[in-house]
């Protein structure tokens, strides 16, 4: 049996309504013992928290997704820090920059990102970053803020270019592999992961989105992280068990509250 973690999923999304028990059971049957469900609007935090409280092995994080930044009140550092008191709250975000869909709100996205970084720095919990079509600004802000004070971070669902990957890795951050890495046309992305240190790689689904091959085009769910992990094992020349053990150890190092709690 593999020992896997889905480091990023969205169990509160409508695609999973009323099915959380079945989703978690299928994940466990696939060797996914733990998962982190992500809140993308702070007003949804109570519902996401309730899912984590209802299921062993389910933890949660919360923040304002960059695509929601213009539509939601700006989070405050104190507001985010208050959430960290919950024993199953393990990360700050997701936050970040998305210029593919919402470039018109880039200024408020940057402001929101810096608030989340401050909360991650003060809490000691990892920052969870969404980055799309914003590589240069993302690298600049992450590096600038790191010089103001260290913090930990994962580049969730990493699908950006090699320059942002290198900038993140140079800061000691982690890259998370999603189902995109299994797609036929994603060789350039697989090459980026192959060049990364194994001890800086996580796996995730970002479910219900981005289902890996052989489920591409269908609703994704945490159990399917096993398929992404199989691709990861091939990339690094490891057995599935070795890759699962490595990425789970990486998760426990980054999301240390999961272990400490």
> Binding site: which residues?
8, 10, 94, 130, 156, 206
- Could you give the CA distance from residue 89 to residue 40 in angstroms, rounded to a whole number? 14
- The two tokens of residue 93 are 């975000």
Q: Are the C-beta atoms of 84 and 115 separated by less than 8 Å?
A: no
Dihedral pair phi/psi, residue 161, rounded to 5°: -85, 175
Feature table: binding site for a divalent metal cation: 8, 10, 94, 130, 156, 206
The answer to whether 128 and 8 are in contact (CB under 8 A) is yes
CA distance 41 to 74: 10
d(CA 177, CA 182) in angstroms, rounded, equals 9
Where do the H-state alpha helices sit in the chain? 20-29, 45-54, 77-83, 106-123, 135-148, 162-170, 187-194, 225-236, 240-254, 256-260
Write the CA distances from 84 to 23, 42, 66, 89, integer angstroms: 26, 13, 20, 6
């Amino acid at each position: 049996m593999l020992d896997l973690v889905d480091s990023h999923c969205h169990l509160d999304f409508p695609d999973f309504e009323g099915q959380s028990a079945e989703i978690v059971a299928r994940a466990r049957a696939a060797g996914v013992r733990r998962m982190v469900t992500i809140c993308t609007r702070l007003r949804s935090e109570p519902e996401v928290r309730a899912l984590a409280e209802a299921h062993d092995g389910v933890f949660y994080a919360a923040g304002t997704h960059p695509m929601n930044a213009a539509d939601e009140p700006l989070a405050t550092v104190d507001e985010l820090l208050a959430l960290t008191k919950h024993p199953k709250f393990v990360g700050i975000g997701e936050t970040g920059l998305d210029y593919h869909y919402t470039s018109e709100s880039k200024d408020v996205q940057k402001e929101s990102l810096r608030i989340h970084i401050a909360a991650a720095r003060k809490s000691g919990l990892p920052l969870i970053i969404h980055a799309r079509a914003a590589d240069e600004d993302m690298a600049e802000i992450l590096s600038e803020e790191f010089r103001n004070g260290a913090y930990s971070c994962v580049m969730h669902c990493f699908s950006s270019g090699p320059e942002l990957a290198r900038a993140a890795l140079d800061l000691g951050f982690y890259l998370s592999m999603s189902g995109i890495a299994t797609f036929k046309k994603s060789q350039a992305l697989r090459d980026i992961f192959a060049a990364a240190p194994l001890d800086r790689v996580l796996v995730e689904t970002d479910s219900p989105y981005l289902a890996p091959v052989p489920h591409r085009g269908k609703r994704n769910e945490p159990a399917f992280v096993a398929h992404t992990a199989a691709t990861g094992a091939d990339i690094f020349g490891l057995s599935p068990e070795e890759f699962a053990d490595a990425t789970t150890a990486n998760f426990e190092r980054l999301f240390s509250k999961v272990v400490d709690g």
